[in-house]
Chains A and B, each alone.
Chain A
Amino acid sequence: MADTYSPDSEPTTRTLLRRVLDTADTRTPQRRRSTRIGAQKSLLEIPSSRRLSISTKMNVRQRSQRARSIGRLAHVQTSGHLEEQTPRTLLKNILLTAPESSIVMPESVVKPVPTPQVVQSSKQESSRGSLELQLPELEPPTTLALGLLAPGRRKRRLRLSVFQQGIDQGLPLSQGKTLDNTCGQHLFSLNLTFATPLQPQSVQRPGLARRPPTRRAVDVGAFLQDLQDTSLALASPGNSLRTPAATLPTDTVLEDTQPFSQPLVGHSPSVYHSLPYLFHTEAKDAEKAVSHRTQSNGPRLQNHSPGKPAQLLPTKAKKVDALAMSFTNTSSAISGEDEVEPSQDVVSEEAEEMMEESLNMGEVKDTTGTQGSVRTEKSERHAEMTEAFEAKEPEGSSGDKDISASPELASSTTEFLQTRQLQFPKSAPPPSTAILSSEDLEPLPTRLPPRARTLGPRPRQDPYKTGLSHYAKLFSFYARMPMEKKALEMVEKCLDKYFQHLCDDLEVFASHAGRKTVRPEDLELLMHRQGLVNDQVSLHVLVERHLPLEYRQLLIPCAFSGNSVFPAQ
């Protein structure tokens, strides 16, 4: 075996494992070899011929890989068999069949389109087994390539691999959690694909984060079916593997859809998330335009899913499609298409309408808490255009806290307002009053007790200092020059006065309108007085100018995450 492959320059885990297994391998399969070689050789010839034909399409590099894999496959088929699986043999099969792909260079692995075919053409057991360990490395190319070819195939293989993991780990199949964990581990170990797609899902809908595991648990039931089907298909692995590979996915897809319609829906976004993720940095611009299309595509999710990946290859615009599709898919998958469509309609409408709606919703929000919150959550979920929403709602509601708590809390809450204005990642929590009250007060309580005790004057207390020192540090950072301590202190003083003044103004504006709570209109008035908003420049324009889509996409998940935000790798 050592002859068939040239060891990598880097000692990867793969090579280590291989060496380990090579040394240990000699014991077990010797018996089987003698009995099975004759039977296996016929099987070998057909796949090898298939593989050779495939190799003509590939690069030289992959050819060498294929050659190695062929050699390994021969070894595999002599040694292992479906019924006599042991974890050891499975691992060995993985190492034999998997191409020499290092974790460091994912892009090179991205190229080979036929690799999935090759993997497929090999024994199902080995392919399944190979997929296990291949997931961290090969998954990027498989997701890309297979996504391009046929989503069904990939889904099936995914599920099978997951199922295989379950077998290997000796866990019952129904454990959705383990599958989720393993998948999650895989996903987070990847430097591509699943990392981001799943995050927006879970981040945007913290309450529904439980859903994907249940869906996967259901899929496992289908895995058994798939296994049986593919084990039957194994009987004729050679030429039939390719064509049934084309037909089987559809069959399995159909089979899957019959008992469970949701899992496909759940998986399709994952497919497309993997695809657009690579291009997500480029694709954000056309989000708006795409949302229109996704609107129409919403209901015909499944029909579009096979079509979409084929489109994704040529142009960036198509990638944008996929991205938007993925987003809408996630939204539809999770929140139900009916709910998505109207909100998508809203989203696809002009941003101003959206913002006005959100503003109105914000106005209503104080009176109808949950309804507005639900609606606004939905709208925020689907709309990357809720700029004014974010701009105003957190301020309005944090302003609520301001006035309602006590006027002395002015500076602390102005800091909140300022944080929202100045620092995008530090956006205030989502506008729903319930969530806000819980989240807004969490940082506040450290300041509340000292505030409540000292009523009359406004003494400089530690919470203030800590908050203002943060701003002073920002100031020094943006000054790009070393600053004296005295200068920083002066900056803090000025900031303090500024914030106090700001909140006084807000309070006065609110009382001027006969209200006790500060509302977004008060803030708009303030900005008008500050000269930021005037006849030429409206608030919406400012929001669009200063809250670009990328920031909004960061902000919205953060705002809705409920403090469960995972970093994108």
Chain B
Amino acid sequence: MEEDKAAEEQQRFSYRQRLKAAVHYNVGCLCEEVASDKEIQFSKQTIAAISELTFRQCENFAKDLEMFARHAKRSTINTEDVKLLARRSNSLLKYITEKNEELTQFNSEQRAKKKKKLEEENKKPVEPAEAGAAGRDSSTV
């Protein structure tokens, strides 16, 4: 039992470390972009600090999101929770809401397309039952 726990701890720790490494890598890439953009150099300590900061902030976000979802008596985190989280900074909130709208639009469009396809498939055999089918068959063939 204790061995299992220790192993679990080890696993978690290594998992954490891997996550941190991934974050660090991404932060490094972003910093390089910004550096080339603004023509400013980033020292390694800075990048490390930023990545550590990001990691901890992600932890905070996760806890807050979970709390928000629980506060709304839900068990899944929603875009509403994310918006609530981001309400502090206006630009971020704007950005998120825009993205959200885009996504919803996209989703709705996709659904509409799917629905249309289904409807067409349903309608065609109904109205011009034989001719359409024959026409299609001939066209496909």
- Identify the A interface with B (CB < 8 A): 508-509, 512-514, 521-522, 525, 528-529
Q: Are A513 and B71 in contact (CB under 8 A)?
A: yes
How far is it, in angstroms, between the C-alpha of A17 and the C-alpha of B71 when the chains are bound?
A: 73
Across the interface, which residues of B come within 8 angstroms of A525, CB to CB? Answer: 67-68, 71
Q: Across the interface, do A512 and B80 meet the contact criterion of CB distance under 8 Å?
A: yes
Task: Report if B112 contacts A (CB, 8 A).
Answer: no
Chain B residues contacting A528 (CB-CB under 8 Å) are 64, 67
**B119 nearest CB across to chain A (Å):** 35
Q: Is the CB of B67 within 8 A of A512?
A: no
Which residues of B sit under 8 angstroms from A512, Cβ to Cβ?
A: 68, 71-72, 80-81, 84
| Residues in A neighbouring B64, C-beta threshold 8 A | 528-529
> How far apart are B29's CB and chain A's nearest CB, in angstroms?
31
User: What is the distance, in angstroms, from B8's C-beta to the closest C-beta of chain A?
Assistant: 19
Q: How far is the CB of A535 from chain B (nearest CB, A)?
A: 8
Find out whether the CB atom of B71 lies under 8 angstroms from the CB atom of A514. no
Of residues 50 to 107 in B, which have CB atoms within 8 Å of A's CB atoms?
64, 67-68, 71-73, 80-81, 84, 87
A521 touches B71 (CB 8 A): yes
**B residues less than 8 Å from A521 (CB atoms):** 71
The residue in chain B whose Cβ has the minimal distance to the Cβ of A504 is: B87
* Chain B residues with CB under 8 A of A509: 71, 84
**Which residues of B lie under 8 Å from residue A508 when comparing CB positions?**
84, 87
Q: Residues of B contacting A522 with CB < 8 Å? A: 71
Report the separation of the CA atoms of residues A512 and B77 in the bound assembly, to the nearest whole angstrom: 12
Inter-chain CA distance A529–B71, complex, in Å, is 13
- A-B contacts, 10 listed (Cβ < 8 Å): A508-B84, A509-B84, A512-B71, A512-B72, A512-B80, A512-B81, A513-B73, A514-B72, A525-B67, A528-B64
Q: List residues of B whose CB falls within 8 A of some A CB.
A: 64, 67-68, 71-73, 80-81, 84, 87
Interface of B is mostly: helix
How far, in whole Å, are A512 and B81 apart by their CA atoms in the complex?
8
The residues of A that contact B84 with a CB separation of less than 8 Å are 508-509, 512
Report the bound CA distance from A529 to B64 in whole Å. 7
Q: Which of B64, B67, B68, B71 has the most CB atoms of chain A within a 10 A radius of its CB? A: B71
The residue of chain B having its C-beta at the shortest distance from the C-beta of A509 within the complex is B71
Task: State the Cβ distance, B53 to closest chain A Cβ, in Å.
Answer: 16
Q: Given known contacts A512-B68, A512-B72, A522-B71, what 8 new A-B pairs fall within 8 Å (CB)?
A: A508-B84, A508-B87, A512-B80, A514-B72, A525-B68, A525-B71, A528-B64, A529-B64
Q: B31 CB to closest chain A CB, in angstroms?
A: 28
Q: Name B69's closest neighbour in chain A (CB-CB).
A: A512
B73: chain A residues within 8 A (beta carbon): 513
In the docked arrangement, what's the CA distance between A508 and B87, Å?
Answer: 9
- Chain B nearest CB from A523 CB (Å) reads 11
Closest-CB distance, A178 to chain B (whole angstroms): 59
- CB-CB under 8 A from B72, the residues of chain A are 512-514
CB distance from B130 to the nearest CB of A (A): 54
Q: Which residues of A contact B81 (CB under 8 A)?
A: 512
Q: Which residues of B contact A514 (CB under 8 A)?
A: 72
- CA separation between A508 and B84, bound complex, in Å? 8
> How far does the Cβ of B37 sit from chain A's closest Cβ, in whole Å?
33
Q: A110 to B81, alpha carbons, bound, how many Å?
A: 67
Q: Which residues of A contact B68 (CB under 8 A)?
A: 512, 525
Q: Complex: how many Å from CA A509 to CA B73?
A: 12
**A447: shortest Cβ distance to chain B, in Å?**
27
Q: How far is the CA of A522 from the CA of B64 in the complex (A)?
A: 13
Please measure, in the bound complex, the distance between the C-alpha atom of A8 and the C-alpha atom of B77, giving whole angstroms: 82
Cα separation A525 to B67 with both chains bound (whole Å):
8
Q: What is the CA–CA distance of A508 and B73 in the complex, to the nearest angstrom?
A: 15
Residues of A within 8 A of B80 (CB): 512
Complex CA–CA separation, A375 to B80 (angstroms): 37
Contacts of A513 in B (CB 8 A): 71-73
Q: With a CB–CB cut-off of 8 A, which chain B residues contact A529?
A: 64
**Complexed CA–CA distance, A514 and B72 (Å):** 7
Complex: how many Å from CA A217 to CA B80? 66
CA distance A509 to B81 in the complex (A): 10
Q: How far is the CA of A512 from the CA of B79 in the complex (A)?
A: 12
**Minimum CB–CB distance for A242 against chain B, Å:** 72
Across the two chains, which residue of chain B brings its CB closest to A510? B71
State the CA gap A513–B73 with chains docked (Å): 7
